[in-house]
Structure 1
Amino acid sequence: MRVVGLMSGTSYDAIDAAAADLSLHGDTLVLTPLGMISTAYDDDLRADLAGALPPAGADLATVCRLDTRIGQAFAAAAVRADEELCGGRADLVASHGQTVFHWAEDGRVHGTLQIGEAAWIAEATGRPVVSGFRTRDVAAGGQGAPLVSIVDVMWLRGRPGVPVALNLGGIGNVTVVPGGVAGTGGEPLAFDTGPANALIDAAVTALAGRAAPGDAPTMDVDGALAARGTVHLPLLRRLLADPYYARPAPKTTGKELFHLPYLRAALDSCEPLSVEDVVATLTRLTARTVADAIRPFGATEVIASGGGTRNPVLMDRLREELGEGRADGVGGRGGCVVRSSDELGLPAGAKEAYAFAVLGWLTAHGLPGTVPSCTGARRASVLGSITPGGPGLRLPRPPATAPVRLTVEGGPGPVRPDHLR
């Protein structure tokens, strides 16, 4: 089955469309990457989306317009991916949509909202579309995140030691597979670690834009600002004191908490700082909170993906915190190897889009798409809703054996980004 996975994360900078050929062999799901296309939101849509996200408020008319415009943008991305990567022969589209609110209070998630109406995708492509993945897990008592944990568990199963999958998007999240095999050495666990790029991007957009009018940077490209700055320890300590980091897993967070007003409140307690020092401090915050989250599990390797992997300063700081390759284990516990998911066959910039292609495949086959120990749900659930692509919807029969492993075969295929994260 050829599946196009569509993803736009908490950085809401682009739609990633990854195509995969998925086939089941015994208890192993084989993923052959066909490539990825990444298309930036147009400036007006991105600005309108940013203006509607928390802590801002939005009326229902704004939500309706965004739901339609994002759905149309996802539809255009799906059409391109089908034509350019699948030769017009895609069988299914799996759309994560755009998260605009994750209702979390007192350690529980009560609801979640992803927009980008699937009907626009189905109408444009003529393919069935799986969407609305997160809500069913929330209804079953789960966090609704990180949903890619089932893919991580299948993918890392059997690797030696304690492998950890790390995604560095707007928010950081990890999946820990103790003993390399679920059920040995403890059940797998997944949770959001806190901000990855969210606060860094907010600082650059708000502070560097003022320093360089007309340039309007929105991210620390190549970690250039962090490399020139110095960590401000009082600010770092204040940020590390946030109660979220001490909460037990499973847990989830988002830009509902880690946004620009949150950062401004912390900066108000400090003397004026240069944008370089602020970004250096926030980069260290991301590395420290990820490392602190991983360290108790005795991780032996971290397999990283997401836009943050393209920030060499962030990756260096993470390696320092985890003590990679150091006999004394400074910053870590005996050292922990940090590598990119590219080394295991999944392009770091496309891994989550491929993961949603897998989730779509599971739903189409009537199979659960969650691991309860990872999301905190009462039970594993078949995720999402299916929008027919045309008359005569036909879904495959559930297999006699559900997959427990995922392998990646073949080259990663072409990657055609229309933007840089």
Structure 2
Amino acid sequence: MIVVGLMSGTSMDGLDVAVADLALDADGTLTLVPLAAEEHPWSPEMRARLLGVLPPARVSLADVCALDTHVGRESAAVVAETVRRHGGDLVGSHGQTVFHWVDPEGRALGTLQLGQPAWIAEATGLPVVSDIRARDIAAGGQGAPLASTLDALWLAARPGTKRVALNLGGIANVTVVGVPGEPVTAFDTGPANCLLDAAAARLSGGRLASDIDGRMARAGTVRADLLARLRAEPYYDLPAPKSTGRELFTTEYVAARLAGLPGATPEDLMATLTELTAVTVAEAVRPYAPTEVVASGGGVRNPALLDRLRAHLAPAALTTSDTYGLPAGDKEAYLMTLLAFLSWHQIPGVAPGATGSAVPRVLGRLSPGAGPLRLPEPGVTPKRLVVRAPRTA
């Protein structure tokens, strides 16, 4: 089955699209063949509008409605062109998260992703699985990180080894993958790129969306006083499973914690925020004593961040998802192909216990395509995921 996956993460830098051929054998082996993956950056105007609705901003329902339509229409254009070139039977669309509601006790109560899927169904004639997080929250889970579903099937460790999958998007999340049959642990550790990107945009007057190649961070020195304030965030002490987002780590977050401290140079600020991500990730995974940490996401492009992660994660080896067949920048989009495939076959899309839900549920809502909607018989529970290279002509 050819599935198109569409992802726009908390970095809000654009749409990632992936195409995969998925098949599930009777013995529970799920095979994913990556066929294509592309990035479609948001226009500066669209990105500004999306960032403009994030807390602490106050926006009208007219703004929310307009963005829901604009994201849906841009998504539809990307998917239609992708299907024209690569084909497709089903679409999985994550949408753009604009709010993830977590109460002070750490319970997830709701989540909102914009990007009306009807536009995709109308433009392609294909059924669309969307709103992928809400059912898990209704069942008592965090609704995140759903990457744990892919990670648990894909990186199941051999006896004597333990891997942690690390995604470095706007927010960092991890999946602890132990011996097959053991419960999966997954949670958001805190900020990955969101504070770095916000600082880069502010310091450059909007010219930069990120610290390119970590150049500013490498030219600076970590400010111990600021790092101590940032590490005092109560979120880090909450037990897993837990989730967070830009509702907590807002664009004003760092400025509020700089209050009363001597001013920081741009380079020192970037070095400190890079260290914050590396330290909080390492502290979160250290209790699990992994032998290997497999990283993916946009943060993999930042060599300064990878250097600090490597230093703090030692003796665990730091590799990237490319080592196991999924390009680091495309993994989340391929995740959406997997989750859509599972939902289409009426298979729960969350590993037991990974997000805190008592009972794993089939995820998402389904928008019919142009033809009659005929779901297959429920599939068997997958036991492992094999990523296989496409055949060459």
TM-score for the superposition, normalised by structure 1: 0.90
Match for residue 3 of structure 1? 3
Match for residue 386 of structure 2? 407
What is the Cα deviation at residue 301 of structure 1? 0.4
Match for residue 242 of structure 1? 233
Match for residue 99 of structure 1? 97
Match for residue 110 of structure 2? 111
1:398 counterpart SS class: coil
What is the Cα deviation at residue 82 of structure 1? 1.3
Quote the Cα distance in structure 2 between the aligned partners of 1:279 and 1:154.
Answer: 36
1:374 counterpart SS class: coil
Structure 1 segment 315-330 matched on structure 2, within 5 A:
315-323=306-314
Contact 2:348 2:363 in 1 (8 A): yes
Structure 1 segment 373-392 matched on structure 2, within 5 A:
373-392=353-372
Contact 2:5 2:17 in 1 (8 A): yes
What is the Cα deviation at residue 156 of structure 1? 1.1
Quote the Cα distance in structure 2 between the aligned partners of 1:381 and 1:152.
Answer: 18
Task: Give the number of equivalent residue pairs.
Answer: 389
User: In the superposition, relative to structure 1, how do residues 204 and 91 fare at CA in structure 2: closer, same or farther (>3 Å)?
Assistant: same
Match for residue 145 of structure 1? 144
Structure 1 segment 42-57 matched on structure 2, within 5 A:
42-57=43-58
2:382 counterpart SS class: coil
Quote the Cα distance in structure 1 between the aligned partners of 2:213 and 2:61.
Answer: 38
Aligned-residue sequence identity (percent) comes to: 53
Give the partner amino acid of 2:28. D
Give the partner amino acid of 1:92. L
Contact 1:345 1:412 in 2 (8 A): no
Quote the Cα distance in structure 2 between the aligned partners of 1:304 and 1:56.
Answer: 32
What is the Cα deviation at residue 57 of structure 1? 1.5
For residues 121-177 of structure 1, give each alpha carbon's deviation from its aligned partner in whole angstroms, at most 9, with x where no partner exists. 000111000001100000001101001211110111144511011000000000001
The runs of at least 4 aligned residues of structure 1 exceeding 6 Å deviation read none
Give the partner amino acid of 1:53. L
Match for residue 208 of structure 2? 217
What is the Cα deviation at residue 411 of structure 1? 5.3
Quote the Cα distance in structure 2 between the aligned partners of 1:344 and 1:381.
Answer: 28
Contact 2:172 2:192 in 1 (8 A): yes
Contact 1:3 1:21 in 2 (8 A): yes
Match for residue 154 of structure 2? 155
TM-score for the superposition, normalised by structure 2: 0.97
Contact 1:347 1:412 in 2 (8 A): no
1:353 to 314, 320, 333: 333
Give the partner amino acid of 1:76. A
1:254 and 2:245 aligned: yes
Quote the Cα distance in structure 2 between the aligned partners of 1:159 and 1:385.
Answer: 35
1:339 to 319, 324, 330: 319
Match for residue 418 of structure 1? none
Bigger CA drift: 29-38 or 74-83?
A: 74-83
Match for residue 347 of structure 2? 367
Quote the Cα distance in structure 2 between the aligned partners of 1:319 and 1:282.
Answer: 16
Contact 1:153 1:182 in 2 (8 A): no
Quote the Cα distance in structure 2 between the aligned partners of 1:82 and 1:159.
Answer: 38
1:286 counterpart SS class: helix
Bigger CA drift: 150-159 or 307-316?
A: 150-159
Uncovered stretches (5+) of structure 2, i.e. residues with no partner: none
1:203 and 2:199 aligned: yes
Structure 1 segment 257-272 matched on structure 2, within 5 A:
257-272=248-263
For residues 240-277 of structure 1, give each alpha carbon's deviation from its aligned partner in whole angstroms, at most 9, with x where no partner exists. 11111111000000000111211101112320111110
Match for residue 182 of structure 1? 181
2:7 counterpart SS class: strand
Match for residue 40 of structure 1? 41
Bigger CA drift: 42-51 or 116-125?
A: 42-51
Quote the Cα distance in structure 2 between the aligned partners of 1:203 and 1:40.
Answer: 20
Quote the Cα distance in structure 2 between the aligned partners of 1:24 and 1:159.
Answer: 22
Give the partner amino acid of 1:348. A
Quote the Cα distance in structure 2 between the aligned partners of 1:412 and 1:277.
Answer: 48
Match for residue 227 of structure 1? 218
Give the partner amino acid of 1:55. P
Uncovered stretches (5+) of structure 1, i.e. residues with no partner: 210-214, 324-334, 414-421
For residues 79-103 of structure 1, give each alpha carbon's deviation from its aligned partner in whole angstroms, at most 9, with x where no partner exists. 122123x2xx300000000101001
Give the partner amino acid of 2:383. V
Give the partner amino acid of 1:268. A
Contact 1:146 1:252 in 2 (8 A): yes
What is the Cα deviation at residue 365 of structure 1? 0.3
2:5 counterpart SS class: strand
Contact 1:41 1:73 in 2 (8 A): no
Quote the Cα distance in structure 2 between the aligned partners of 1:258 and 1:389.
Answer: 38
1:298 to 265, 282, 289: 289
For residues 319-357 of structure 1, give each alpha carbon's deviation from its aligned partner in whole angstroms, at most 9, with x where no partner exists. 00012xxxxxxxxxxx00100101100000000110110
Quote the Cα distance in structure 2 between the aligned partners of 1:337 and 1:269.
Answer: 39
1:81 and 2:82 aligned: yes
User: In the superposition, relative to structure 1, how do residues 412 and 170 fare at CA in structure 2: closer, same or farther (>3 Å)?
Assistant: farther
Match for residue 331 of structure 1? none
Give the partner amino acid of 2:101. W
1:392 counterpart SS class: coil
Q: CA RMSD in A?
A: 1.3
For residues 22-43 of structure 1, give each alpha carbon's deviation from its aligned partner in whole angstroms, at most 9, with x where no partner exists. 0112211000000101111122
Contact 2:157 2:163 in 1 (8 A): no
What is the Cα deviation at residue 113 of structure 1? 0.5
Give the partner amino acid of 1:103. W
What is the Cα deviation at residue 412 of structure 1? 11
